[in-house]
């Protein structure tokens, strides 16, 4: 661990010189990359320097204790050594966390896709409630949401919705939401009061940058269609709906949210790039996880991750065994405690995995 930390300190000192170099300053993209890297390792460097300072203080106290004869001074030095030991243990644990490789996608915006699963109209209504939950969570964090596609039902449910969320650290907060969400409750249409079980699937895709995914135009089939659904007189009069098919993978993206064909194409391409990026990343993660399993679970959309039980007013995440008895506020976007619990569990799993490989 300390060899790695020494290497990070060396890199930090080199980066400090680079960002102050006039030749580098003249190349703005290069300077920004160095500045970003410097910022990412600064906390680790500062924490390591704090660790070394406490080690030095402890060693000095030990040296003084060997020659000190005054009982009162000896007691003070022993207290200082004891305090330093506790602080060293605390900082060591913090350094281990800081050394966990950061997910390169954590700072990215996301494309979220929610689809009704088993349960008919009740599943569609649940899908809408999940959509509303994430939109309200985004509002709390002052993130921007934008719809790409929304296939609604007559009763106010959603068969499928695709939308983007933009803001600081969005993917780091929402990446554990991918999977099957299950609801248990009595539907309004149920006359005998029986509890029904329905499901909806959630997919969270990090938004891909242009440099990360290259798409050849000859691999695309682009169709223009008439929009359908709510929208007044505009609907079915202009062919503003865009459907893009990526021929090599068979991925299909539909966008009809905007009245402009150009804007719909831009949104559809953004979703397509993110789906392709997620596909390639998932293939890599699958190979990687065969050797090292350290994640709570992201991306496996067949995994049942959470149950929302309305009769008991509870929501349970099955991956970490966390149950919260605050379903009414949870479904309205108050999901911070669950998000934090998942992040802590993932971090602990990674720490355990790192120890196994030391």
3-state secondary structure the chain: CHHHHHHHHHHHHHHHHHHCCHHHHCCHHHHHHHHHHHHHHHHHHHHHHHHHHHHHHHHHHHHHHHHCCCHHHHHHHHHHHHHHHHHHHHHHHHHHHHCCCCCCCCCCCEEEEEEECCCHHHHHHHHHHHHHHHHHHHHHCCCEEEEEEEEECCCCCEEEEEEEEECCCHHHHHHHHCEEEEEEECCCCCCCCCCEEEEEEEEEEECCCCCCCCCCHHHEEEEEECCCCCCHHHCCCCCCEEEEEECCCCEEEEECCCCCHHHHHHHHHHHHHHHHHHHHHHHHHHHHHCCCCCCCCCCCCCCEEEEEECCCCEEEECCCCEEECCHHHHCCCCCHHHHHHHHHHHHHHHHHHHHHCC
Read off the pTM.
0.69
The pLDDT assigned to 238 comes to 58
Read off the pLDDT of residues 44-82 as tens digits, 9 standing for 90 and up. Answer: 999 999 999 999 999 999 999 999 889 999 999 999 999
State how far the Cα of 274 lies from the Cα of 283, in Å rounded to an integer: 14
The pLDDT assigned to 163 comes to 94
What count of residues does the chain have? 358
Q: Which residue has the tokens 């460097």?
A: 45
For residue 111, what are the β-bridge partners?
Answer: 164, 205
The pLDDT assigned to 29 comes to 86
Tokens for 95, please give them.
């350094």
The pLDDT assigned to 284 comes to 57
The pLDDT assigned to 55 comes to 95
The pLDDT assigned to 298 comes to 45
Note the CATH number of domain 110-290+298-349.
Answer: 3.30.70.1660
Read off the pLDDT of residues 264-320 as tens digits, 9 standing for 90 and up. Answer: 888 888 888 888 888 877 775 665 444 434 445 544 456 789 999 999 999 999 999
Q: Which residue has the tokens 């008919």?
A: 120
The pLDDT assigned to 358 comes to 46
Report angle CA 77, 79, 82 to the nearest 5 degrees.
110
Domain boundaries, the chain: 2-98, 110-290+298-349
The pLDDT assigned to 351 comes to 78
The pLDDT assigned to 354 comes to 60
Q: Tell me which residues of the chain have a pLDDT lower than 50.
A: 230-236, 288-295, 298-300, 356-358
């Amino acid at each position: 661990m300390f060899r790695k930390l020494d290497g990070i300190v060396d890199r930090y000192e080199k980066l400090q010189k680079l960002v102050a170099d006039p030749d580098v300053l003249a190349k703005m993209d290069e300077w920004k990359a160095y500045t970003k890297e410097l910022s990412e390792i600064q906390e680790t460097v500062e924490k390591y320097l704090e660790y070394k300072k406490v080690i030095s203080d402890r060693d000095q106290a030990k040296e003084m204790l060997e020659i000190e004869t005054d009982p009162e001074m000896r007691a003070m030095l022993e207290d200082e050594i004891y305090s330093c030991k506790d602080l060293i243990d605390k900082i060591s644990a913090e350094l281990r966390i800081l050394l966990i490789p950061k997910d390169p996608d954590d700072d990215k915006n996301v494309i979220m896709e929610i689809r009704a699963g088993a349960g008919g109209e009740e599943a569609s209504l649940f899908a809408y409630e999940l959509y509303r939950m994430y939109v309200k969570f985004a509002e709390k964090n002052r993130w921007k949401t934008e719809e790409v596609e929304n296939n609604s039902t007559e009763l106010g449910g959603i068969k499928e919705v695709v939308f983007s969320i933009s803001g600081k650290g969005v993917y780091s907060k929402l990446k554990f939401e991918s999977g099957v969400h299950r609801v248990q409750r009595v539907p309004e249409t149920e006359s005998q009061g029986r509890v029904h079980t329905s499901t909806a699937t959630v997919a969270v895709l990090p938004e891909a940058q242009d440099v990360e995914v290259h798409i050849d135009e000859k691999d695309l089939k682009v169709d223009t269609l008439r929009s359908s659904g709510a929208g007044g007189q505009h609907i079915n009069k202009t062919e503003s709906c865009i459907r893009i098919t990526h021929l090599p993978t068979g991925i299909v993206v539909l966008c009809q949210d905007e009245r402009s064909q150009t804007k719909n194409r831009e949104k559809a391409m953004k979703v397509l790039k993110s789906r392709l990026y997620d596909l390639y990343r998932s293939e890599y993660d699958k190979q990687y996880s065969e050797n090292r399993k350290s994640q709570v679970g992201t991306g496996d959309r067949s995994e049942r991750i959470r149950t929302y039980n309305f009769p008991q007013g509870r929501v349970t995440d099955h991956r970490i065994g966390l149950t919260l008895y605050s379903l009414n506020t949870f479904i309205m976007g108050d999901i911070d405690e669950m998000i934090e619990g998942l992040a802590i569990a993932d971090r602990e799993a990674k720490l355990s995995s790192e120890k196994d490989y030391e």
